[in-house]
Amino acid sequence: MNKVTVLGSLNVDSILRFKRFPKPGETLPLTGKSVAGGGKGANQAIAAARAGAQTTFIGKVGTDQEGAFMVQQLTNSGVNDQYVQHSNVASTGSAFILLDSSSENRILIDGGTNQQVTAEDVERAQPAISASTFLIAQFETPIAATIRGFELAQAAGQKTILNPAPATTTVPAELLATTDLIVPNETETETLTGVHITDEQSMIQGAQKLQALGVANVIITVGSKGAFWMRGAEHGFVPAYKVEAVDTTAAGDTFIGALSSVLMPDFSNLAAAVRFANRASSIAVQKLGAQPSIPTKEAIEAAERA
């Protein structure tokens, strides 16, 4: 069983559904609204735990009802919340997900306590990091904390996975130097490398540029098409499973969490792990809400047998 630690965000998601996005100055009625647990970090941790990994979370919530709700979402899925700090300086992070009838989403985020995660918070979690197969992080918490976490993981001989989202044009060299696997989508790949992803050749070019920045292993996710992987000079493309999407909000996070649950620390089974992660994502997009849609290992394996 892989041991996974996730450093990242916890957000309460407010999901607003409507037929189409309004034009400037236009008012439209909602077709529905709901609340669910979210945040890229929490989603990835829950996905890893439900897929069978022993999972620990590093993050921060407020001393409010939303914070208690988010911690409960972690523990309900078997995620260790020992290193989730509580702050009375800011409120728990929140996100507003705008979802139209074609399942296209746009997301607005208030970082709240996610932006207060510090290197010192990460250092408190060193026992978990040192014992983990993988440490996963994204960009919804301060990069300084992520750099410290990756340094601790590297010092302990453990592997790191970076999801460079939300996209940013400036990633510190010291973070990339301690990243073993980077998992951007096509937009994030273009932001980081300048390569516009249109076909497999551009995926190869983008992945090679990421390798030139210091990351040996690369996965580029391309939504409903699938995912491209590169390990050293080896590479391949794994098509996505064709399903009717209802809500794609947690698709990428489910992919990363499920991937980490089965990936070997030497990345030797990268292609097979991508296939498993694709299957998990295909299940997640068929349900509404980020965390409610994340499948269990049993559901993933049942879908594989079907």
Is 225 known to sit in a ligand binding site? yes
Return phi, psi of residue 200, to 5°: -65, -35
pLDDT reading at 177 higher than 90:
yes
Is 268 known to sit in a ligand binding site? no
> Of these residues, 81, 121, 180, 253, which one is catalytic?
253
87-127 pLDDT, tens digit each: 999 999 999 989 899 888 888 999 999 999 999 999 999 99
* Single-letter amino acid, residue 197: I
- Alpha carbon distance 111, 11 (integer Å): 8
Q: What is the reported pTM?
A: 0.94
Average pLDDT over residues 142-165: 98
For 5-19, b where at least 16 C-beta lie within 10 A, e where not — what string?
bbbbbbbbbbbbbbe
Integer Rg of the chain from CA: 18
Find the helix packing angle between 40-50 and 65-76, rounded to 10°.
20
Which residues are CB-neighbours of 240 under 8 A, at least 6 positions away?
223, 224, 225, 226, 227, 278, 281, 282
- Alpha carbon distance 138, 152 (integer Å): 16
Sort 37 into a burial class: Cβ within 10 Å, 0-12 / 13-18 / 19+.
Answer: buried
The answer to whether the Cα torsion of 12, 16, 20, 22 is positive or negative is negative
Is 247 known to sit in a ligand binding site? yes
Average pLDDT over residues 179-190: 97
199-230 pLDDT, tens digit each: 999 999 999 999 999 999 999 999 999 999 99
Is 198 known to sit in a ligand binding site? no
pLDDT reading at 289 higher than 90:
no
Is 233 known to sit in a ligand binding site? no
Q: Which two tokens stand for residue 192?
A: 């980081």
Which residues are CB-neighbours of 283 under 8 A, at least 6 positions away?
243, 254, 293, 295, 299, 300, 303
User: What integer pLDDT is reported at residue 288 of this predicted model?
Assistant: 81
253 assigned to active site: yes
The domain limits of the chain are 3-21+32-305
What number of other Cβ atoms are within 10 A of residue 304's Cβ?
A: 12
Is 221 known to sit in a ligand binding site? yes
CATH number among 3.30.70.3040, 3.40.50.300, 3.90.45.10, 3.40.1190.20, domain 3-21+32-305? 3.40.1190.20
